[in-house]
Copies of this chain bind each other. A is one copy, B any other.
């Protein structure tokens, strides 16, 4: 089973406008609502392939927005443990300016989680985790939780034979990494920061590959945006080179990459296939305004994505 922790879910509201007046009245042409928050985006590849039964969500819902999210989760046939909270879930507004082809993401903070709610959440999480499972910890920490929230979960889960995957940023990432998760997904800047290495722009990819060899983390996927990806998996260093595309909206691309990677990995144990599938679907997602899994587009990209093993860890 793959467990996905979505600590700060959101009702994603995409509002389409033909023009935007920052100090006046704008009329929208259409709007769309979706189940948001990084964890739910990680779940997308499983929903589209009708493999919801292989994943299990862990999240906090509260208030009228939480009720809507619970209904959306049900409609998507996603099972999981929900901790009901006093606070209201947040909205994320995506303002798509169609004539300018721009998308503005306006992220709200989300509710504060009380200590009692955290305890309830942790209890149901650990009741549900079993040795051999994977656990994805995705996104920022909600208000009210300690900076060590992910770290403590990772440590306890790993000690029970669960392979943990951390995809966060800032303090949540730095503390979480301390517990040595099975896999860290991280961008280039944060990786060098975590390794205490000063970035040299001219030599960035090579620098990251070298640092990866020496990193204390068992497995690491370092994303470099359009430049591609560098990864250390099972002692091998991999380099993924991507074709150039015209990005419409990159939102959720990293999450779709991760969900697809884990899905493929659990099935085949084939690193290269998992990196390829993840890269292709995350590229295809960039062509859409809304988070989208497009297998046809991804297949076209697969031939243009170059993946090679460039070394091994020390």
Contact = CB atoms under 8 A, between A and B. Distances in A.
A100 B20 CA distance: 16
A13 to B, nearest CB: 7
A31 interface: yes
B95 A106 contact: yes
A302 interface: no
A26 B64 contact: no
A93 interface: yes
A112 interface: no
Contacts of A68: 64
A97 B71 CA distance: 33
Q: How many copies does the complex hold?
A: 2
20 contacts: A15-B93, A15-B106, A20-B104, A20-B106, A21-B104, A22-B95, A22-B100, A22-B102, A24-B104, A25-B107, A26-B105, A27-B109, A28-B106, A28-B107, A28-B108, A31-B91, A31-B108, A64-B67, A64-B68, A64-B71
Interface of A: 13, 15, 17, 20-28, 31, 64, 67-68, 71, 90-91, 93, 95, 97, 100, 102-109
